[in-house]
């Protein structure tokens, strides 16, 4: 099971256990129990449970840690029940927070699968920056646009000869459509901690309301998915909105209700991909709504489950390529 899937399921289990995420990110996540007690935890995420030596290292750090993993071990569960770590497991389902079993263990039919290593966020961001750039760029300019260092840009450019070329003014993409196709095949999306919400307003209004609310809390929202695609290249009424955040936000006070993934109209994610905000600066922001860049938006639309997701994605893709050709 992929780590981002484990993390998404863990967030659902927290809500089922009536433990709310009230702010923060994976390094400092704020959890609020039904009795209003608040914990701040560092999230340790792994598909397999920590080894005894790794668990010892976690305890030695002295930081309250929430271990999120697919399956438990006897020692890990015992450590959690003694309040030394917090624990969420998927198979069996279990939530232990503050030494209290807040969701009784139960078996699921889930099985473990392959995991991925460290994602090359910088390389993917560099490709997006090249595809969205207005003309040739210096390595310094590309570093700022992709949110990575200049040495990293230099390293990545050597592996991207199939997509880029250099002239007297700098580096540029020689085939934006090829970059788009490659990213759709290889970029897995921003991953991260995801929560799901339901609202009654139109999707466009929900996206605007969620972005404004998150902005007030300093979470630096970026709207993506159907709602952003409708602003970049209007084609159909959006069915749901995605918003990326620098830290978790509880949207209850903004008029949303927690929802299951298949019922959600608003999907909120604190992404692993740290480059989203850099490449978002390359995008036009209509109506003052902060948007993820068009290529991240395209990936999210493509990953949607609406019956016309493919057609909507094709429409946005053509708009991206046409803009690059001008």
User: When comparing pLDDT for 204 and 2, which is higher?
Assistant: 204
Distance CA 237, CA 107 (A): 40
Domain 3-106 and domain 121-186, same fold? Reply is no
How many CA atoms lie less than 13 Å away from 204 in the CB half-sphere? 11
Q: Could you give the CA distance from residue 212 to residue 195 in angstroms, rounded to a whole number?
A: 18
Find the mean pLDDT for residues 209-217.
95
The pLDDT value given to residue 308 = 82
Pairing status of strand 170-173 against strand 164-167? antiparallel
Per-residue confidence (pLDDT) for residue 305, from 0 to 100:
79
Could you tell me what percentage of the chain is helix, strand and coil, using 3-state DSSP and rounding each to the nearest 5? 40, 20, 35
pTM: 0.70
pLDDT attached to residue 146: 95
* Average pLDDT over all residues of the chain: 87
For residue 325, what pLDDT is reported? 66
How would residue 180 be classed by pLDDT, with cut points 50, 70 and 90?
A: very high
Q: At what angle do helices 139-146 and 150-157 cross, to 10 degrees?
A: 100
Per-residue tokens: 208: 């605007």
**Structure confidence at residue 181 (pLDDT):** 94
Tokens coding 5: 């899937």
Burial 167-182 (b: 16+ CB within 10 A, else e): eeeebbbebbeebbeb
Question: What are the beta bridge partners of residue 97?
Answer: 100
**Bridge pairing between strands 93-97 and 100-106:** antiparallel
What pLDDT, on a 0 to 100 scale, did the predictor assign at position 91? 77
Q: Where are the domains of the chain?
A: 3-106, 121-186, 193-325
Q: For residue 13, how many other CB atoms are within 10 A of its CB?
A: 19
Per the DSSP assignment, residues forming a β-bridge with 25 are: 28
> According to the model, what pLDDT value does residue 262 have?
84
Q: For domain 121-186, give the fold.
A: Arc Repressor Mutant, subunit A (1.10.10)
> Mean pLDDT over residues 106-126, rounded?
62
Contact present, 220 and 246 (Cβ < 8 Å): yes
Which tens digits make up the pLDDT trace of 56-82?
Answer: 999 999 899 999 998 889 899 999 999
In this predicted structure, what is the pLDDT of residue 115? 37
pLDDT tens sequence across 226-254: 999 999 998 888 888 999 998 888 898 99
Q: Sorting pLDDT into bands at 50, 70 and 90, what band is 171?
A: very high
pLDDT at 29 over 70: yes
Residue-level pLDDT at 108: 45
Q: Give the whole-angstrom CA distance, residue 302 versus residue 224.
A: 12
Residue-wise pLDDT tens digits, 121-153? 999 999 999 999 988 999 999 999 999 999 999
Q: Residue 154 is encoded by which pair of tokens?
A: 């230099």
Q: Confidence class of residue 169 from pLDDT cuts 50, 70 and 90?
A: very high
What topology is assigned to 3-106 in CATH?
Trna Endonuclease; Chain: A, domain 1 (3.40.1350)
């Amino acid at each position: 099971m992929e780590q981002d899937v484990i993390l998404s399921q863990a967030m659902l289990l927290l809500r089922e256990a009536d433990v709310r995420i009230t702010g923060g990110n994976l390094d400092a996540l704020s959890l609020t129990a039904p009795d209003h007690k608040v914990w701040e935890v560092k999230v340790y995420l792994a598909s397999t449970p920590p080894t005894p030596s790794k668990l010892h290292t976690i305890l030695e750090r002295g930081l309250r840690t929430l271990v999120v993993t697919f399956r438990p071990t006897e020692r890990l569960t015992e450590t959690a029940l003694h309040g030394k770590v917090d624990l969420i497991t998927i198979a069996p389902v279990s939530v232990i927070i503050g030494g209290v079993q807040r969701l009784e263990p139960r078996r699921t039919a889930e099985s473990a699968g392959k995991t991925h290593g460290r994602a090359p966020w910088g390389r993917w961001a560099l490709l997006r920056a090249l595809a969205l750039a207005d003309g040739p760029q210096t390595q310094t300019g590309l570093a700022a646009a992709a949110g990575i260092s200049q040495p990293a840009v230099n390293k990545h450019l050597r592996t991207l000869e199939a997509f880029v070329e250099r002239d007297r003014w700098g580096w540029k993409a020689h085939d934006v459509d090829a970059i788009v196709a490659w990213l759709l095949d290889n970029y897995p999306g921003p991953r991260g901690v995801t929560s799901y919400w339901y609202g009654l307003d139109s999707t466009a209004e929900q996206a605007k309301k969620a972005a404004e609310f998150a902005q007030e809390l300093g979470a630096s929202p970026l709207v993506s998915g159907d709602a952003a695609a409708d602003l970049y290249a209007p084609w159909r009424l959006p069915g749901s909105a995605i918003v990326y955040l620098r830290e978790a936000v509880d949207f209850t006070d903004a008029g949303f209700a927690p929802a299951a993934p298949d019922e959600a109209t608003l999907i909120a994610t604190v992404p692993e991909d740290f480059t989203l905000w850099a490449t978002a600066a390359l995008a036009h922001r209509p109506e003052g709504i902060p948007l993820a860049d068009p290529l991240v938006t395209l990936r999210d639309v493509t990953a949607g489950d609406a019956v016309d997701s493919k057609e909507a994605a094709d429409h946005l893709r053509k708009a991206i390529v046409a803009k690059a050709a001008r």
